[in-house]
Amino acid sequence: MSSDSYTVTGPDGSSVDLPQVQGTMGPPAVDVRKLYANTGGFTFDPGFTSTCSCESGITFIDGEKGQLLYRGYRADELAQKSNYMEVCYLLLNGELPTQSEYEEFNDAIRMHTMLNESLKRFFTGFHYDAHPMAMLSSIVSGLSAFYHDTTNTADPEHRKIFARRMIAKIPTIAAAAYKYSIGQPMVYPKNDLDYSSNFLHMMFAVPAEDYEVDPVAAEALDVLLILHADHEQNASTSTVRLAGSTGCNPYAAISSGIAALWGPAHGGANEAVLKQLSAIGSADNVDKYIAKAKDKNDPFRLMGFGHRVYKNFDPRATVIREHCHKVLKAYGGDTDGMLELAMKLEEIALKDEYFVERKLYPNVDFYSGIIYKAIGIPTNMFTPMFAIGRTVGWVAHYLEMISDPGLRIGRPRQIYTGATERPYSDITGR
């Protein structure tokens, strides 16, 4: 291997030089685009754990250092000093906004918060106990039928309108899905409220009485949205990019990301954490479940610990942990023992040799579910909450991809393991 290329030698002794690609941060990559043309072979990487699918200037993760950067800014620092609307502007535009840019962007988002009245009828087509993620992905896909006149992806102005419209409407859709599931009327957005407060108002207000948003809940929600805003080329973001590479309607591409996020191994993890804490029941049962987690013959898996990317402490978890304590204090403490249980699990995981050796530290999902539960968000809404925060990341990656002049449709290869070619046999002779 030279300083700027890698040499691959085939079984027949032939070799090919593959150039090295180096970003501004992170490890180098091998450009294998010409591998097949020169050798007749492909790379094999199940799960794409060693494959770079694109070049991107949006988010950087260093799993060894526990580092997460949005456009070069530490995500945990943004969560402590900024707000979600500023972070949205940053992810979309590459820089933090000036005061005038922030006001223009914030006003533009507020202009798009309402849904077309015809869209409200879509909700009535769902059974009352449908999962909110089913409604969320369907309604977002349905936006493509209402806004097809401003989705010329070659037009920068259309792309900007799509981005702002999508970020503005996702909380309205999510709150409407919740309201429908409990038989309450949809609450219209109030554009005098900030983004997080507006969502809480749409979730919990009713026409029969006044509702005042709790600033502690709104602040905690804003922090969670920031920390969920983007996470590099994860499963849902990669899905948005893959779908978007076909040239499909951009709302359909975002809908595909919502569907990917639904899985318990991805966005559904915080919902799974809370269900698991409920199953454990009390701190007295922790040792029993820790033993189950260590037993390789036991299918039990401790949710909320470890991360596929982070090999150290999840930088987002520290910030969320602080807000978890703040929210529980404001809401009367740990009334059901959930935090005590979570603290004991964390204490064991940080000291137990089994967890320390495997670096199974608490991740972002560990505390976020407890916060959601404390401020009144039902368990089946946890993944839609993740989707609200992540929408700006999906949109930013979609815009980056669709404006790339070198864009090509995504088309992974495979290792075929089926039957070789064989003749057809008539049904009477089988």
Would you place residue 3 in the very low, low, confident or very high pLDDT band (cuts 50, 70, 90)? Answer: low
Q: What mean pLDDT, rounded, does the chain reach?
A: 90
* Global pTM value: 0.90
Do the beta carbons of residue 396 and residue 91 sit within 8 Å?
Answer: yes
Q: Report the candidate in 123, 164, 127, 119 with the shortest Cα–Cα distance to residue 144.
A: 119
148 among known catalytic residues: no
323 among known catalytic residues: no
Q: Based on the number of CB atoms within 10 Å of its own CB, is 117 exposed (0-12), middle (13-18) or buried (19 or more)?
A: exposed
Do the beta carbons of residue 108 and residue 163 sit within 8 Å?
Answer: no
Q: How many helices (H) and strands (E) does the chain have?
A: 18, 6
pLDDT of 335 reads 60
Would you place residue 2 in the very low, low, confident or very high pLDDT band (cuts 50, 70, 90)? Answer: very low
Do the beta carbons of residue 249 and residue 148 sit within 8 Å?
Answer: yes
Residue range 333-350, pLDDT digits in tens:
666 677 778 778 878 877
As a whole number of angstroms, the distance between CA 392 and CA 297 comes to 41
Residue range 84-120, pLDDT digits in tens:
999 999 999 999 999 999 999 999 999 999 999 999 8
Do the beta carbons of residue 180 and residue 186 sit within 8 Å?
Answer: yes
| Catalytic entry in 307, 314, 323, 397 | 307
- Torsion-angle region of residue 20: left (phi > 0), alpha (psi -120 to 50) or beta? beta
Among the ranges given (64-78, 271-285, 383-397), the one the predictor scored with the smallest mean pLDDT:
271-285
365 among known catalytic residues: yes
Among the ranges given (12-16, 105-109, 208-212), the one the predictor scored with the smallest mean pLDDT:
12-16
| Catalytic entry in 222, 231, 365, 397 | 365
pLDDT at 34 over 90: no
* Helices 99-111/156-181 angle, 10° precision: 50
Residue range 250-290, pLDDT digits in tens:
999 999 999 999 988 788 777 788 888 888 988 888 889 98
pLDDT at 208 over 90: yes
Mean pLDDT of 389-415: 95
pLDDT of 198 reads 98
As a whole number of angstroms, the distance between CA 213 and CA 92 comes to 28
Mean pLDDT of 351-373: 83
Q: Report the candidate in 184, 220, 197, 174 with the shortest Cα–Cα distance to residue 110.
A: 197
As a whole number of angstroms, the distance between CA 300 and CA 14 comes to 48
3-state secondary structure of 96: coil
pLDDT at 240 over 70: yes
| Catalytic entry in 201, 228, 231, 266 | 266
State the Cα angle at 305 between 299 and 309, rounded to 5°: 110
* H-only helix segments in 5-83: 35-39, 75-81
Reading the block at residue 263, the tokens are 């899985």
3-state secondary structure of 19: strand
Do the beta carbons of residue 10 and residue 39 sit within 8 Å?
Answer: yes
As a whole number of angstroms, the distance between CA 159 and CA 403 comes to 9
